[in-house]
Amino acid sequence: MGLSTVDAPVAPKAGGIDLLLHLGAADMVAVDALVRERMQSDVPLIPALAEHLIAAGGKRLRPLLTVAAARLCGQGLPNARKLAAAVEFIHTATLLHDDVVDGSSLRRGKVAAHLIWGGASSVLVGDFLFSRAFELMVETGSLRALNILATASRVISEGEVLQLTRSHDLNLDQKVYLEIISAKTAELFAAAAEAGAVAANASEVEVAALRSFGQKLGLAFQLADDALDYGGVTAALGKNAGDDFAEGKATLPLLLAVHRASGEDAAFWARTVGERRQEEGDFARARGLVLATGALQATVDLAQTYANEAKAALTVFSQGPWRAALEAAADFSVSRTA
């Protein structure tokens, strides 16, 4: 009797994000019900517009992070579910406002809400969801969680404004680019995980570890997204690749490729991104350049570095299915690019 060290618990061999989705399924059904309940209003346009975006779904990675963090710390429900719903509302509000700001035409594979109901409705329904998020947080009675998510919302808006003012700068410093994605993306991942730990009354070490995990995961996620917009590192193009290039958005693959370009290639970037004069075939050439210069691989490598740091942050927790699932999610965020 007794387990030999060989028999010590081993993290299940997780396939990407599936383990986390599987473990969190029951919680997320409850979170989804809460989201649908609280997006209701006597003003019919509000649930109609919210439903359009929320039904489109996606993986609900951010609220999933909140319930996973609480579960990893051993408790925290139903407050963790309320905070998860609040996180989803903040995220959805941000998407609604972003799409108006960017003039985007697609969101979660559907026509962007502002093109159906107008920009004014998207702005106001975003405000509604944002307020609802705070009402939900108040219900948990946790001033600490409120503070975490209020600060996150403020930092996100700062990141968005910074991006707005610098987004077409071909000479944007890599440091500023990382500041932007830290604020506009990683902050909500960090706050989502931290709030879940707080809901579980976790120790300060655990709270800090989960915040760090969320922050690094968010960075890895955004870097991978930016790489995917150039089709990832394999030959097969992602379906929606090319949007960032078309908008002349200063993401890391572009910034590195521009930095490494000279002569004709530099002139190509100046025309297509600097002056936004693009012709057919330009994206294929842009993609060729981000691949050939190693800019794309460098972006993916940096994403993997952050994913590794995310996983390292979890070593304060014992091995177990939730930790394994979060580790696999970190790797998944980068493996999407291959």
Q: Which residues of this chain interact with a copy of itself, rule CB under 8 A?
A: 41-43, 45-46, 94, 97, 100-102, 119-121, 123-125, 127-128, 130-132, 134-135, 137-138, 141, 143, 146-147, 150-151, 153-154, 156-158, 160-162, 164-165
Nearest by Cα to 69 from 334, 309, 319, 325: 325
Nearer to a copy of itself, 27 or 88 (CB): 88
Nearest by Cα to 337 from 308, 309, 296, 295: 296
Nearer to a copy of itself, 48 or 312 (CB): 48
Nearer to a copy of itself, 18 or 127 (CB): 127
Q: How far apart are CA 326 and CA 303, in angstroms?
A: 16
Q: Closest approach of Cβ 254 to a copy of itself, in Å?
A: 21
Nearer to a copy of itself, 215 or 293 (CB): 215
Nearest by Cα to 73 from 186, 214, 194, 215: 194
Q: Closest approach of Cβ 49 to a copy of itself, in Å?
A: 9
Q: Closest approach of Cβ 150 to a copy of itself, in Å?
A: 4
Q: Closest approach of Cβ 93 to a copy of itself, in Å?
A: 8
SS (HEC) of the chain: CCCCHHHCCCCCCCCCCHHHHHHCHHHHHHHHHHHHHHCCCCCCHHHHHHHHHHHHCCCCHHHHHHHHHHHHCCCCCCHHHHHHHHHHHHHHHHHHHHHHHHCCCEECCEECHHHHHCHHHHHHHHHHHHHHHHHHHHHHCCHHHHHHHHHHHHHHHHHHHHHHHHCCCCCCCHHHHHHHHHHHHHHHHHHHHHHHHHHCCCCHHHHHHHHHHHHHHHHHHHHHHHHHCCCCCCCCCCCCCCHHHHHCCCCHHHHHHHHCCCHHHHHHHHHHHHCCCCCCCHHHHHHHHHHHCCHHHHHHHHHHHHHHHHHHHHHHCCCCHHHHHHHHHHHHHHHCCC
Q: Closest approach of Cβ 133 to a copy of itself, in Å?
A: 9
Nearer to a copy of itself, 248 or 253 (CB): 248
Nearer to a copy of itself, 176 or 270 (CB): 176
Q: Closest approach of Cβ 52 to a copy of itself, in Å?
A: 14
Q: Closest approach of Cβ 170 to a copy of itself, in Å?
A: 20
Nearer to a copy of itself, 125 or 172 (CB): 125
Q: Closest approach of Cβ 240 to a copy of itself, in Å?
A: 22
Nearer to a copy of itself, 139 or 309 (CB): 139
